[in-house]
Amino acid sequence: MIDIKDKHNCCGCEACSSICPKKCITMKEAFDGFLYPQVDKNQCINCHLCEKVCPFLNNNREKSECNNSELIANRIEQSISNIGCYACFNNDIQIRNNSTSGGFFTALADYVLKNGGYVCGAIFNEFFAIEHMMTNKKDDVSKMRGSKYVQSKLNGIFTKIKKQLEENYYVLFSGTPCQVEGLHRFLGREYEKLITVDFVCHGVGSPKYWKKYLEYIKEHCHSKIVDIKFREKTYGYNSSCMAVYFENGKAFHKGHDDDKYLLPFFSDYILRSSCYECKVKKLNHVADFTMGDFWNSSKLDTKFQEANGATLLLIHSNKGNKLFNDICKQLTYVAISLKDGLIVNSGKNMSMLLDSTKEPKNRTEFFNDLEKMEIRKLLNKHIPLSMKRKIAYTIKPILYKLGVLEKMKRLIK
Ligand SMILES: Cc1cc2nc3c(=O)[nH]c(=O)nc-3n(C[C@H](O)[C@H](O)[C@H](O)COP(=O)(O)OP(=O)(O)OC[C@H]3O[C@@H](n4cnc5c(N)ncnc54)[C@H](O)[C@@H]3O)c2cc1C
Ligand code: SF4
Ligand code: SF4
Ligand code: SF4
């Protein structure tokens, strides 16, 4: 039976609790707010199904491989993979503006809905917690659009997916690489009408920290939150920011250094332990598609320049290639080599497709302090910003409003 002794070895995909014939595995919250399986040993019949479906137990990627860019780079050079690689964006400007990069996900979801199928993706629930839902309605799919940098709760969705597939419906599942791998292992066989899409994954943030952040905002903004976007393109795709909208018509936009969620997320303090030693990161994913950010896509041509965001798209399967042909009329796209794709995706570091984030030494202390410290004090203690960074995030919105920021970016290019 599953017994998680080291939290780095469980991504929380819920495949084990979904497959257990005795329903004796429950997902319990740990001190950092992430869910881990706990077995009721009195009911367990030692069938070992939970171990067989676990994507972390069954991927033997060594710890030393997780943060070794050089080793991974050599592997790409040597790889003879058939992965298709594209830069693309959705031709519908509204969809694009509401998506994180180029809006590829919505093109795929539209195809599934048109064919009478179901789409599963991450949404905000009524309390702005993040969870997966299954739908066959266009309005619900629009709620899935956009990255939410918090681990989503799956709420037993794998069992619902299996039911729809058995009834011969199309099902599109969109999630983290580990959720997608967990789903495939749970299903245990190929389904022609199952389509899966994952993304280049930095890691997922703590639902417990997210809750504290929401409480902080509510306290300081004195109005009900009506919408949140983790990556709004107000200041352009390359400078996307957190945007929170309130019932009283007010809103705030804050960047990576300024926002009290994005700062610990991108400083890697609030990620799940498994994200620091991710065992499912690899070139060939079990998903049909992998999406990611295509940074500086404006360099490709004028169409991409005007698009304000493009998706880096990897296609891993024949099914994926066929589907891409069916939906490509909705997209503007250009084929590129896998190596170039990973370079544009990575920025300075190795692509998050293969590399894991590094665990801060004082992560445990950070979470222990989360219980007892006010959020500003917590961040000042653990992630203090230099005066230079504070000045930069204060003047950036002013420069943007004056139009100076865009001019400076063009000059640098
Ligand atoms: C937690 C997280 C980390 C990411 N890290 C990177 C990275 O390091 N590098 C990179 O290039 N790209 C990363 N991405 C992917 C990137 O942000 C875009 O989502 C991707 O480029 C697709 O954009 P799109 O415009 O085509 O579609 P979008 O409309 O933005 O599609 C979003 C899709 O992602 C799913 N989704 C959103 N939030 C979650 C969640 N919490 N859990 C599971 N599924 C979710 C939705 O269901 C939807 O299907 C990350 C995304 C997430 C959610
Ligand atoms: S061994 Fe079988 S019965 Fe026991 S927890 Fe795992 S799946 Fe459930
Ligand atoms: S990784 Fe998934 S299947 Fe494995 S123990 Fe964790 S929740 Fe269960
Ligand atoms: S980094 Fe790995 S373990 Fe973490 S959410 Fe992404 S795929 Fe899952």
Q: Answer yes or no: do 243 and 225 share one domain.
A: yes
Letter for the amino acid at 245?
Y
- Asked, for residue 59, whether it belongs to a domain, the answer is no
Residue 274 in contact with ligand 4 by CB distance below 6 A: yes
Ligand 3 probe mutation, 10, 17, 24, most atoms within 8 A of CB:
10
- Asked, for residue 26, whether it belongs to a domain, the answer is yes
Question: Cα(4) to centroid of ligand 3, in Å?
Answer: 9
- Asked, for residue 278, whether it belongs to a domain, the answer is yes
Question: Cα(107) to centroid of ligand 1, in Å?
Answer: 14
- The parts of the chain modelled with pLDDT lower than 50 are 80
Burial label for 61, CB within 10 Å (0-12, 13-18, 19+), is middle
CATH of the domain at 19: 3.30.70
Q: Answer yes or no: do 70 and 209 share one domain.
A: yes
pTM (two decimals): 0.93
Q: Answer yes or no: do 13 and 74 share one domain.
A: no
Q: Answer yes or no: do 410 and 331 share one domain.
A: no
| 69-78 vs 338-346: helix crossing angle, rounded to 10 | 160
- Asked, for residue 1, whether it belongs to a domain, the answer is no
Find the ligand nearest to 100 CA. Answer: 1
- Asked, for residue 115, whether it belongs to a domain, the answer is yes
Q: Answer yes or no: do 390 and 300 share one domain.
A: no
Q: Answer yes or no: do 403 and 291 share one domain.
A: no
Which atom from ligand 2 is nearest to the alpha carbon of 20? 7
- Asked, for residue 129, whether it belongs to a domain, the answer is yes
Q: Answer yes or no: do 300 and 411 share one domain.
A: no
Residue 55 in contact with ligand 4 by CB distance below 6 A: no
Find the ligand nearest to 37 CA. Answer: 3
Q: Answer yes or no: do 74 and 221 share one domain.
A: yes
Taking CA 117 as the corner, what is the angle to CA 111 and CA 122, rounded to the nearest 5 degrees?
Answer: 85
Ligand 2 probe mutation, 3, 47, 53, 158, most atoms within 8 A of CB:
47
Q: Answer yes or no: do 270 and 282 share one domain.
A: yes
Q: What pLDDT sits at residue 401?
A: 64
Q: What pLDDT sits at residue 96?
A: 94
Burial label for 168, CB within 10 Å (0-12, 13-18, 19+), is exposed
- Asked, for residue 389, whether it belongs to a domain, the answer is yes
Q: Answer yes or no: do 263 and 323 share one domain.
A: yes
Residue 10 in contact with ligand 3 by CB distance below 6 A: yes
Closest C-alpha residue for ligand 1 atom 29: 145
Residue 1 in contact with ligand 3 by CB distance below 6 A: no
The domain containing residue 37 runs over which residues? 7-53
- Asked, for residue 151, whether it belongs to a domain, the answer is yes
As for ligand 1, residues whose beta carbon falls within 6 Å of it are: 99-106, 121-122, 130, 144-150, 152, 174-176, 199-202, 204, 291-293, 311, 345, 352
**Tokens 């598609």 label which residue?**
289
Q: How would DSSP label each residue in 255-296? A: -TTTSTTHHHHHTTSSB-GGGGG-SS--SS-SSSEEEEE-TT
| Strand spans (E) along 208-348 | 225-232, 241-246, 251-254, 289-293, 311-315, 331-335
Number of domains in the chain: 3
**pLDDT of 158-187, one tens digit each?**
999 999 999 999 999 999 999 999 999 999
Q: What pLDDT sits at residue 32?
A: 97
Q: Answer yes or no: do 106 and 195 share one domain.
A: yes
Q: What pLDDT sits at residue 59?
A: 84
Letter for the amino acid at 111?
Y
**pLDDT of 38-62, one tens digit each?**
999 999 999 999 999 999 999 876 5
Q: Answer yes or no: do 253 and 120 share one domain.
A: yes
Q: What pLDDT sits at residue 211?
A: 97
Question: Cα(234) to centroid of ligand 2, in Å?
Answer: 49
- CB contact at 8 A, 31 and 79: no
Helix/strand/coil for 377 = helix
